[in-house]
Homo-oligomer: A and B are copies of this chain.
Amino acid sequence: MEPDTPHQLPGLASIGLPRIVVVGGGFGGLELVKKLVRAPYQVVLIDKHNHHTFQPLLYQVATSGLETSSIVFPFRKRFQHKSNIYFRMGEVIHVHPEQKRIDTSIGSIDYDYLVIATGAVTNFYGMKDAEQHALGMKSIVDAIKLRNTIIRNFEQALLTTDRIKRNALMDFMIVGGGPTGVELAGALAELKKHVFPKDYPELQLDDMDIYLVEAAPKLLGSMSAQASEKALEYLNKMGVKVMLNTAVKSYNGEEVLLASGEKLLCKTLIWTAGVRANPLPGLPPESLTRNGRCRVDAYNRVVGFDNIFAIGDVACMEGDPGWKNGHPMVAPPAMQQGRWLAKNFIRMAKGKSLKPFRYFDKGTMATVGRNKAVVDLRGLRFQGFFAWYIWMFVHLLYLIGFRNKIFVFLNWIWSYFSYDKSNRLIIGRPQ
């Protein structure tokens, strides 16, 4: 190790270029690093996983539609032969802005520039019991856990003669009527209609209730009234019990208490009701704002620093006209900020001034089931069959890796014609 760089991960030498450390390889971090290939920087990407996760399709892994490997992509494979890009698997523990250093689970590392792209985690809004008993939908482990739970519950239901207890095993409550909640509810309804009656002829599938609970008066809050209403109509048709204007007060793993005072027995509650940012310990309080997000200027610089940046869900840029509370915590702003910041880094290297970021909102979409999706594009709103095609096309487009695109596409074709979801496997040691 060189004496002038006392803090770097073992084995990671300086290559004589300014070092950008990027924490997190989600949509934002990955786009940033991709655009910094061959830029005059040493780029070190740190992530706790060795792969990028395509979160928008997690719900399909959870409901046996896709296999895990189709929606993840190893970072090392993405950056083969990219000599200025370094990947290290580890978790960041603390940032020391004065020393330009971060501490991680695999050692400390100095940076010239730090980019925080740590994304978001499930927000339980302080409900400890829900946090303990509910399932999330933010990671591959969450998705596999839900898949295992769904199948274990049904196997257990077969062995349960008490009707009330059996029903509690067959019921699912999804809290949160955003895209994830809507898509998950739709996928469960398809399992109920097309798959489980064949797998479990001994069970009365009418007993399987799918509740979708939303505190606001409409589903898909960020979309048009037209899209919300159509999604509600689709879900109703598919037998999902949508409860609007309904907040969850507590959940003990067996019973959920609604704000109305109503109680429902339910062994499985999936929480998609909110996210909060996942910032790094060590930043001063004045750099943080609502929901744990880092306050950033128009160049994604964290307020108070000129060498620390934040992008994506973890960043709150209040200066973009039309987005006074920051950009929505979804993939498109993260990707655009990642790409934009890369350009700014390259401008910086050339001694040029930085250019402010502006979010280009292409629109929002969500799918409910086969031939059923809702799409709001700029000035263009449509639902149904064509929207569903667009949804699939866009997801394939953004999925990373040609092989993944092919395999997901083939899976979708297979499922479309067979009405099957093939991956209903419990992977893991028997309990």
A residues whose Cβ falls under 8 Å from a Cβ of B: 9-11, 48-51, 67-70, 72, 74, 76-77, 80-81, 83, 86, 88-89, 91, 105-107, 140-141, 144, 151, 155, 158-161, 198-202, 401, 403, 406-407, 410, 414, 420, 422-430
Stoichiometry (number of copies): 2
Given contacts A68-B427, A140-B427, A425-B72, whether A80 and B199 have CB atoms under 8 Å apart is yes
B residues near A86, Cβ cutoff 8 Å: 202
Picked from B11, B414, B428, the residue with its CB within 8 Å of the CB of A158 is B11
Q: Tell me the minimal C-beta distance from A87 to chain B in angstroms.
A: 9
Q: Is the interface of A mostly helix, strand, loop or mixed?
A: loop
Q: Nearest chain-B residue to A203 (Cβ)?
A: B11
Which of B11, B48, B200, B424 lies in contact with A430, CB distance below 8 A? Answer: B48
The reply to whether B68 and A425 contact each other, CB–CB distance below 8 Å, is yes
Q: Which chain B residue lies CB-closest to A89?
A: B155
Q: Which residues of B contact A76 (CB under 8 A)?
A: 199-200, 424
Q: Is the CB of B49 within 8 A of A426?
A: yes
Are B48 and A159 interface neighbours, CB within 8 A?
no
Contact of A160 (CB < 8 Å), options: B11, B67, B160, B425: B11
Task: Give the contacting residue for A403; candidates B9, B70, B414, B425; CB below 8 A.
Answer: B414
Which residue of chain B lies nearest to A197 when distances are taken between CB atoms in the complex?
B80
* Distance of A383 from chain B, by nearest CB (Å): 31
User: Bound state CA distance, A30 and B164, in angstroms?
Assistant: 34
A-B contact pairs, 29 of them (CB 8 A): A10-B159, A49-B430, A50-B151, A50-B155, A50-B424, A67-B69, A68-B68, A68-B69, A68-B425, A68-B427, A72-B425, A74-B424, A76-B199, A76-B200, A76-B424, A77-B199, A80-B198, A81-B198, A81-B201, A83-B201, A88-B155, A89-B155, A89-B426, A107-B159, A141-B427, A141-B428, A144-B427, A403-B414, A407-B407
**Interface contact B414-A88, CB-CB below 8 Å:** no
> Which 7 A-B pairs rank lowest in CB-CB distance, beginning with the nearest?
A76-B199, A67-B69, A80-B198, A48-B430, A89-B155, A69-B423, A10-B161
**How many whole Å from A164's CB to the nearest CB in chain B?**
15
Kindly state the separation between the CA atoms of A408 and B420 in the bound complex, as whole angstroms.
Answer: 18
